[in-house]
Amino acid sequence: MSTPISDDSQLDVAVVGGSIAGCTAAIRFRQLGHRVAVFDKKTMDDRFYKRLCTHFIQPHAVPVLAELGLAHLYEADYSVPTKAVFVTPGGLVEGPGNYLPGDQDLFALNLERRVLDPALRTAAREQGVEFADGTSVEKIEEDDFGWSLHTRDETGSRVFRARLVVAADGRRSRLAKELGNPAESRPNERAALFGYFSGITTRPDRRSVFIMNERDLACVYPLVDGRTQLVLFAEKSRVEGWGSTEGRLPQFLEYFDSLPDAPSMGDAVLEDGLLGYSDYPSQIRQAVAGSIPFVGDAALSLDPMSGVGCGFALVSADLLARSFTGRSLDKTGLVAGLAEYRQQLEEVLLPHAEGICVDSLVDKNAASRLRMFKTISANPDLSQQYLALTGRMLLPGEFQRLLMRAMMTRRTAPLKL
Ligand SMILES: Cc1cc2nc3c(=O)[nH]c(=O)nc-3n(C[C@H](O)[C@H](O)[C@H](O)COP(=O)(O)OP(=O)(O)OC[C@H]3O[C@@H](n4cnc5c(N)ncnc54)[C@H](O)[C@@H]3O)c2cc1C
């Protein structure tokens, strides 16, 4: 997999982390004409991919794939273009037509990481990004001319020089520790359990169904080849009682079968084991520490129930490179580019974090939740706007305004006698 870094002369951009955020940043900086190398500590053969991910890509992020040269991933051999449907306590929230009026082509994607991750690395290599896997970045040091990266691979240690270093090294970011960019941690009161199945009949319109059951969320994702992914984000106490990993399958299937809006589990066959986690707090870091930008999970690693991490990795890395369009990587260009990136992240992605962190808590006022979803479900425009919010195409503040207006109108509507 590794394409040895050709010479020891200075890199323009060194990206630490070769997953979604890292490959995206690398490709976008390469497209701006820079010499770019990606370092990843894991050894990645052509089929390597991240397993702990349920790979629903929200519609706001899908266009970034085309900019990376990966538009073919929208095709039926690779993914399922889809749209969310929510089964809520107040009724169905389907949202007619497209995600937003006028956005004809915007859809979410069920794009499995076994497909996406190798495709990103191939696109990076084909566009001239140098790629060193099995190479851990252990320390970075700044001087007047840029950065020194101290790396280690199986042959020993090596130092690289770069003008700009991008931290795309995930939620446990080593660079964040080095640079003193601690994560603000927010609790997540749900555990997750998921698996891949055959033998489940999903909706003919290929929509992905999100069923709110008490304070759990059960998700049904159609995948390529007629397969289905089932994901359950459940109150921790519920799944704790389900026993060992192997023993959980019957309870998991019974849970889905008990939901009136889920497909039948009668013929469901699990492909591999169930995966999941018991605790996954959200983590938020500064977008820029010193002169190092953080992208993807290294900056914002939010409750997976929101299904935003892959999209935020794509979009944050894209925003970073866009902030450097028309700028050089000298001191003046770096200061301006990093300031623009910080501002963009704060405007485009950060407003979503607060609502997601609030949703991670299970103890919410059931009556006001019911009232809210009744209002949304009864109003086709608001339903569409709710889907646009969850697809991260509408800011929470804007949705709140529309919701408040609809709730007031509902309250003042004349009574039917
Ligand atoms: C159960 C679960 C379900 C999820 N479902 C969804 C979903 O449906 N939709 C969605 O959008 N998101 C989902 N996510 C979130 C998504 O998986 C992540 O947000 C996404 O993978 C983040 O990508 P990244 O590139 O920022 O970081 P990562 O994928 O974590 O990559 C970081 C990379 O940095 C490398 N690295 C770390 N340290 C070093 C170092 N010192 N030197 C060199 N390399 C280093 C690592 O090896 C790794 O490859 C889910 C997450 C979980 C846990």
Residue 49 lies in a domain: yes
| Residues spanned by the domain of 127 | 11-55+112-186+282-355
Give the DSSP H or E segment for 321. Answer: helix 309-323
What pLDDT sits at residue 410?
Answer: 67
Find the range with the poorest average confidence among 13-17, 62-66, 230-234, 367-371.
367-371
Distance 343 CA to ligand 1 centre (A): 23
Residue 87 lies in a domain: no
Of 276, 298, 47, 66, give the one whose Cα is nearest residue 168.
298
pLDDT reading at 2 higher than 60: no
331 & 375 share domain: no
231 & 378 share domain: no
246 & 217 share domain: yes
Atom of ligand 1 nearest to the CA of 135: 43
Domain boundary among 257, 277, 297: 277
Ligand 1: which of 1, 5, 16, 19 to mutate, most ligand atoms within 8 Å of CB? 19
Residue 83 lies in a domain: no
Residue located nearest, by CA, to atom 26 of ligand 1: 296
273 & 197 share domain: yes
% pLDDT > 70, the chain: 94
Residue 194 lies in a domain: yes
pLDDT in tens, 279-316: 999 999 999 999 999 999 999 999 999 999 999 999 99
Ligand 1: which of 140, 210, 297, 319 to mutate, most ligand atoms within 8 Å of CB? 297
pLDDT-derived band of residue 129, with 50, 70 and 90 as boundaries? very high
154 & 286 share domain: yes
Mean pLDDT computed over 75-98: 93
Q: CA–CA separation, 244 vs 232, rounded Å?
A: 16
Residue 404 lies in a domain: yes
Residue located nearest, by CA, to atom 41 of ligand 1: 137
pLDDT in tens, 323-343: 999 999 999 999 999 999 999
182 & 316 share domain: yes
Domain boundary among 277, 300, 326: 277
Residue 211 lies in a domain: yes
Name every protein residue with a CB atom under 6 angstroms from any ligand 1 atom.
Answer: 16-22, 39-42, 50, 52-57, 136-137, 168-170, 174, 192, 277, 280, 296-297, 304, 307-311, 313
Mean pLDDT computed over 45-61: 94
246 & 174 share domain: no
What pLDDT sits at residue 3?
Answer: 60
pLDDT in tens, 182-200: 999 999 999 999 999 999 9
Distance 317 CA to ligand 1 centre (A): 13
Distance 167 CA to ligand 1 centre (A): 12
118 & 243 share domain: no
- Entry field: residues in the chain: 417
159 & 299 share domain: yes
Mean pLDDT computed over 257-280: 94
pLDDT in tens, 218-241: 999 999 999 999 999 999 998 888
* Predicted TM-score (pTM) of this structure: 0.96
Ligand 1: which of 1, 41, 179, 194 to mutate, most ligand atoms within 8 Å of CB? 41
179 & 323 share domain: yes
pLDDT in tens, 381-404: 999 999 999 999 999 999 999 999
What pLDDT sits at residue 417?
Answer: 47
273 & 286 share domain: no
Half-sphere exposure of 77 (CA within 13 A, CB side): 2
Please tell me the total count of domains within the chain.
Answer: 3
Number of H helices, E strands in the chain: 12, 22
Contact (CB, 8 A) for 316 and 342:
no
Distance 312 CA to ligand 1 centre (A): 11
Residue 333 lies in a domain: yes
Residue 302 lies in a domain: yes
pLDDT-derived band of residue 7, with 50, 70 and 90 as boundaries? low
What pLDDT sits at residue 4?
Answer: 62
Residue 176: exposure state from Cβ atoms within 10 A (0-12, 13-18, ≥19)? buried
Domain boundary among 234, 250, 277: 277
CATH classification of the domain holding 243:
3.30.9.40
Q: CA–CA separation, 280 vs 191, rounded Å?
A: 8
Distance 252 CA to ligand 1 centre (A): 25
CATH classification of the domain holding 18:
3.50.50.60
Mean of pLDDT over the chain: 93
200 & 333 share domain: no
Distance 290 CA to ligand 1 centre (A): 23
Please count the other Cβ atoms lying within 10 Å of the Cβ belonging to residue 281.
17
pLDDT reading at 345 higher than 50: yes
